[in-house]
Amino acid sequence: MSNTPILEFDAIIVGGGGAGMRAALQLAESGNKTAVLSKVFPTRSHTVSAQGGITCAIGSEDPDDDWRWHMYDTVKGSDYIGDQDAIEYMCSVGPQAVYELEHMGLPFSRTDNGRIYQRPFGGQSKDYGQGGQAARTCAAADRTGHALLHTLYQANLKAGSVFFSEWFAIDLVKNAHNAVVGVTAICMETGEVHYIKARATVLATGGAGRIFQTTTNALMNTGDGTGMSLRAGFPVQDIEMWQFHPTGIAGAGVLVTEGCRGEGGYLINRDGERFMERYAPNSKDLASRDVVSRSMVLEILEGRGVGDESDHLLLKLDHLGAETLHSRLPGITELSKTFAHVDPVKDPIPVVPTCHYMMGGLPTNVHGQGISLDKDGNDRIIEGLYAVGEAACVSVHGANRLGGNSLLDLVVFGRAAGLHITDALAEGMDSLEASDNDIDAALSRLNRWNNSSACGESIASLKKELQNCMQFNFGVFRKEEPMQESMRILSDLRERISNACLTDKSKLFNTARLEALELDNLLEIAEATAICAEGRKESRGAHARDDYQERDDENWLAHSIYDPQKKQVGKRAVNLKPRTVDPFEPTARSY
Amino acid sequence: MTIRMTRPGRSGILDWLIQRVTAVIVAAFIVAMLVWLLSTGDVTYAAWKGLFATAWMQSFTLLALLATCVHAWIGMWTVGTDYIQTGNLGKYAETLLFLYQLGCALVLIFYLLWGINILWGN
Amino acid sequence: MQVSVYRYNPEENTESRMQDFNLEIPRGKDLMVLDVLELLKEQDASVTYRRSCREGVCGSDGVNMNGRNGLACITPLSDVVKGDSLVLRPLPGLPVIRDLVVDMGQFYKQYEKIKPYLINDEPPPSQERLQSPEERSKLDGLYECILCACCTTGCPSFWWNPDKFVGPAGLLQAYRFLADSRDTATEERLAALEDPFSVFRCRGIMNCVSVCPKGLNPTRAIGHIRNMLVKRVI
């Protein structure tokens, strides 16, 4: 029998990053009893690491800019599997969402006439690709994510949101009708376990870059919400689509913003050649990220890499001059000195494509409502469950996200979910209470770790094996056989992880337990990634296969959808019906 | 907590300004005395007595004395509220702080009265 | 290398102790202190500390390394190790929860006290509020704070009066909003800071400046606040 203490809210938001806090703000300002649960103090969430900016057609750099051009770029960037209704919503609502951030106090950089500064970013164009490079990314120097996250936290303080800082969500609680009615969670400081009951549960847990050995992601990016929803039997969509950012600092994995290339920096190989001119004659270094990353890997594979091992390339910035670097890219200058021992004012930064972003996630509609498929393959709303931000797959990024669209995704869909939940709560949104068994089920994996007895393998070494497996087999280029081998390795790892033990079982601030619980989530996502990557037999966006090198619109102009119960990959239709504009038909994608 | 908290109307800005103004007064007094000492070849009892017989010197000295007392009071109060804490001294900290402040006040009042007595006594 | 780590878990022992580890540091590589902590945690999973971004922007891993506050993830061993030993302690001046994890509650309370959000009761325009690059540049060196608490926990005035002195981090943010051309609550903000503790316990010893991992200067910001307060009464 469960005697777990219960805390009750209208809405519980799991994750205190940009998306979660934007949703919380909307809910708190509407007077709903809202709580944000976050495993770190909210301003330490990974949104803080976003650098370059938030892309949005506010028409500051170009008064004629049009959100439809932004929509075109995003659809093209997604390699045509972004849902066009969702992209339309994001690009058209975007300006309002950005102005709201400014009104909250976000310290955007400014143009001479006092408007928000916008810089060029990859994959941006004017006039549906016909008018040359656009400058559409609103920036606060190269610390936009930091400025955005702190501003949202501050706005939530003002609105009086309730925060459960340093609480870790264990699993979703489902009732007899398969509706989500909250989460079980552990307070790290005391080790106490609670059932947080809520009429709406919002997953805003971000990405899971830590399934890879090298990533720009924070150490805590373990996809906890995605892991929870997979364990609850809900699907993930397009999870094989992992973005490799062209410029992670070689050896360290730390991100160097695309804004560097937006401000005029470019990549060079060992011969000092600006090689992107060969791969993308028009956009050059500002082609979309999948294109640049593939080009870089090809350069390295063809022996034109830099360094003793010829394993990286160089990002040249010195020609921009010290003043531009200090005013527009101060954070990069700092990171580069710390992690590459290079001062970009004088020397180029060693960079290599590095895992950066999870395009996939829980499929949702534009209101953030989670979707699963019924047995006939039709969409079915998951009652009580929402997802926003990187954890969700709305899908606005499709097979490849454009730089600067992530922060926009966070605020637009965080806000949209908040609006929808407010309406739904007002209309009455009650479902069956969770039974003690339902709550106990959501505590079972915690109990397993707590009761694990002496055994061999350590959590740290199992995690390393998992990360190695993903790093070597699911990188920029993918091959059938290694992927199939990985599926076996991962299924073996599942067995070994279920026998691993927790050596430290103390209650107070037990980070060893936290890492064990995170490992469960990493495993769920790694396995889903492997199965979907193997299953999508084409190359599209970030998913490039040696054995299927072409895009196959006939068979795969579709979302992949992964069923965690059957461990199978299926298809879900892409939305090609925007409401106010004509759809963008798939064409060959060149930059 | 009243002794630790500020008196009604007491402001940090005023304290801060008073500290600076009183410091200037005391410094000016010291400089004036040094100048007098150096410029007066033979510092005799008569010369000394003569100096303090003038009304302006009596006023200046009284001003410097008052400034010293006020300066010291604010300074000692600040030091006391820094270091006399329950965190390091336990539950008697508040009583100790009260006694310390009382001690400081008595000493300063004594000095002030003594100074006035020296200046205008006899 | 010998690494000495402050250990405290009240579940096991009411006393804290220092535990020594001998670590082989790979040659030719200048590890960060966080890398060392990760190596220790592989040896002993119970070693407890906070960390997240590992690139100096989230502010989780403020610790005291050989007597100096800083972020473990961006502090190379070559910067802190003297001789062949490294002593790791929690940030001073806050209660310890476990090992290197301190209770940041008091620090956050001081941050909240200064109303760290833009106040402007005029209805916002349909677009952004305009701000010139010059006005915006006043926020440089202020908004970048990551709330790691290295400065505030390195400040003796905060050690003595953690409940009344706002501390360098909070005051830096107070000035961030005082300096923002879009904020209209200057008078209200100054009124809340004029008591003898909130701002005036700063003695300008600049410990905060010397430890700030982001190279910010809270002492200068405090000076600006003091000037504004003084101008207000004169």
Q: List the pLDDT tens digit at each of the 234 positions of chain C.
A: 999 999 999 999 889 999 999 998 888 788 999 999 999 999 899 999 999 999 999 999 999 999 999 999 999 999 999 888 999 999 999 999 999 999 999 999 999 999 999 999 999 999 999 999 999 999 999 999 999 999 999 999 999 999 999 999 999 999 999 999 999 999 999 999 999 999 999 999 999 999 999 999 999 999 999 999 999 988
Residue A524, pLDDT above cutoff 60: yes
Residues of B in contact with C199 (CB under 8 A): 12
> How many beta-carbon pairs below 8 A join chains A and C?
149
Residues of C in contact with B17 (CB under 8 A): 230, 233
Residues of C in contact with A335 (CB under 8 A): 55-56
Query: What are the residues facing A545 on neighbouring strands?
Result: A478
Rounded Cα–Cα distance for residues A500 and A443 (Å): 18
Smallest CA-to-CA distance from A80 within A585, A590, A591 is with A585
Chains touching A by CB (3 or more pairs below 8 Å): C
Q: What is the pLDDT of residue B88?
A: 82
Do the strands A266-268 and A313-316 form a parallel or antiparallel pair, or are they unpaired? Answer: antiparallel
Residue B42, pLDDT above cutoff 90: no
Which of C159, C194, C228 best probes binding to B when mutated, by most B CB atoms within 10 angstroms? C194
Q: What is the pLDDT of residue C84?
A: 87
| Crossing angle for the helix pair A84-104 and A67-77, to the nearest 10 degrees | 120
pLDDT digits (tens, 9 = 90+) for A97-133: 999 999 999 999 999 999 999 999 999 999 999 999 9
Rounded Cα–Cα distance for residues A251 and B80 (Å): 53
Does the beta-carbon distance from A506 to C117 stay under 8 Å?
A: no
Complex ipTM: 0.98
Does the beta-carbon distance from C58 to A49 stay under 8 Å?
A: yes
C83–chain B nearest CA distance, Å: 34
Which of B13, B19, B21, B76 best probes binding to C when mutated, by most C CB atoms within 10 angstroms? B13
* Per-residue pLDDT band at A2 (split at 50, 70, 90): low
Q: B6 in helix, strand or coil?
A: coil
Residues 419-438 of A with CB under 8 A from C: none
Whether the full predicted model's pTM is greater than 0.90, yes or no, is: yes
Residues of C in contact with B89 (CB under 8 A): none
Q: What is the pLDDT of residue A358?
A: 98
Residues of B in contact with C201 (CB under 8 A): 78, 82
Q: What is the pLDDT of residue C26?
A: 83
Residue A305, pLDDT above cutoff 70: yes
Q: What is the pLDDT of residue A319?
A: 97
Q: What is the pLDDT of residue B10?
A: 67
Q: What percent of chain A has pLDDT over 90?
A: 97
Average pLDDT over residues A402-430: 96
Does the beta-carbon distance from A189 to C97 stay under 8 Å?
A: yes
Residue B5, pLDDT above cutoff 80: no
Average pLDDT over residues A411-415: 98
A448–chain C nearest CA distance, Å: 18
Residues of B in contact with C231 (CB under 8 A): none
Which of C127, C135, C184 best probes binding to A when mutated, by most A CB atoms within 10 angstroms? C127
A253–chain C nearest CA distance, Å: 10
Question: DSSP letters of A109-175?
Answer: -B-TTSSB-EEEEEEEESTTTTS-EEEEEE-STT-HHHHHHHHHHHHHHHHT-EEEETEEEEEEEE-
Amino acid at site A110: R
Residue B9, pLDDT above cutoff 50: no
Rounded Cα–Cα distance for residues A55 and A526 (Å): 30
Does the beta-carbon distance from C131 to A110 stay under 8 Å?
A: yes
Rounded Cα–Cα distance for residues A132 and A121 (Å): 12
Alpha helices in A220-301 (DSSP H): 224-231, 259-262, 276-279, 289-301
Q: Which of C160, C201, C233 sits opposite B13 (nearest CB)?
A: C233
Tokens of A159: 């609105």
Is the CB of residue B48 less than 8 Å away from at least one CB of chain C?
no
Q: What count of residues does chain A have?
A: 591
Q: A412 in helix, strand or coil?
A: helix
Rounded Cα–Cα distance for residues A472 and A486 (Å): 9
Residue B121, pLDDT above cutoff 80: no
Q: Which of C11, C51, C128 sits opposite A508 (nearest CB)?
A: C11
Residue A538, pLDDT above cutoff 90: yes
- How far CA C118 is from CA of A9, A31, A46, C181, in Å, comes to 28, 20, 23, 10
- Least confident range from A424-438, A507-521, C196-210: namely A424-438
**Residues 6 or more apart from C212 whose CB is under 8 A from it?**
C150, C151, C218
Does the beta-carbon distance from B12 to C197 stay under 8 Å?
A: yes
Residues C180, C129 contacting (CB under 8 angstroms) = no
A124–chain C nearest CA distance, Å: 22
Is the CB of residue A512 less than 8 Å away from at least one CB of chain C?
yes
Rounded Cα–Cα distance for residues A576 and A582 (Å): 9
Does the beta-carbon distance from B13 to C229 stay under 8 Å?
A: yes
Is the CB of residue A45 less than 8 Å away from at least one CB of chain C?
yes
Residues C189, C174 contacting (CB under 8 angstroms) = yes
Is the CB of residue A147 less than 8 Å away from at least one CB of chain C?
yes
Residue A316, pLDDT above cutoff 60: yes
Average pLDDT over residues A360-385: 96
For A79: left if phi > 0, alpha if psi spans -120 to 50, otherwise beta; the answer is left
Does the beta-carbon distance from A335 to C131 stay under 8 Å?
A: no
- How far CA A514 is from CA of A160, A188, B27, in Å, comes to 28, 8, 62
Residues B41, B77 contacting (CB under 8 angstroms) = no
Does the beta-carbon distance from C51 to A512 stay under 8 Å?
A: no
Rounded Cα–Cα distance for residues B12 and B29 (Å): 26
Looking from the CA of A466 toward its CB, the CA atoms found within 13 Å total: 32
Catalytic residue among A143, A289, A513, A551: A289
Rounded Cα–Cα distance for residues A268 and A290 (Å): 17
Which of C229, C231, C232 best probes binding to B when mutated, by most B CB atoms within 10 angstroms? C229
C157–chain A nearest CA distance, Å: 25
Q: What is the pLDDT of residue C218?
A: 98
**The dihedral sign for the CA sequence A270, A273, A274, A275:** negative
Smallest CA-to-CA distance from A276 within A351, A326, A357 is with A351
Search chain C and give the residue with CA nearest B78.
C201
Rounded Cα–Cα distance for residues A479 and A473 (Å): 7
Tokens of A503: 């050596």
Rounded Cα–Cα distance for residues A484 and A488 (Å): 7
Residue A508, pLDDT above cutoff 60: yes
Search chain C and give the residue with CA nearest B74.
C196
Residues 142-171 of C with CB under 8 A from B: 157, 160-161
B78–chain C nearest CA distance, Å: 8
Is A304 a catalytic site residue? no
Is the CB of residue C116 less than 8 Å away from at least one CB of chain A?
yes
pLDDT digits (tens, 9 = 90+) for A495-506: 999 999 999 999
Residues of A in contact with C10 (CB under 8 A): 508
C194–chain B nearest CA distance, Å: 5
Is the CB of residue C54 less than 8 Å away from at least one CB of chain A?
yes
Average pLDDT over residues A523-535: 98
Does the beta-carbon distance from A44 to C42 stay under 8 Å?
A: no
Q: What is the mean pLDDT of chain A?
A: 96
pLDDT digits (tens, 9 = 90+) for A138-173: 999 999 999 999 999 999 999 999 999 999 999 999
Is the CB of residue C197 less than 8 Å away from at least one CB of chain B?
yes
Is the CB of residue C98 less than 8 Å away from at least one CB of chain A?
yes
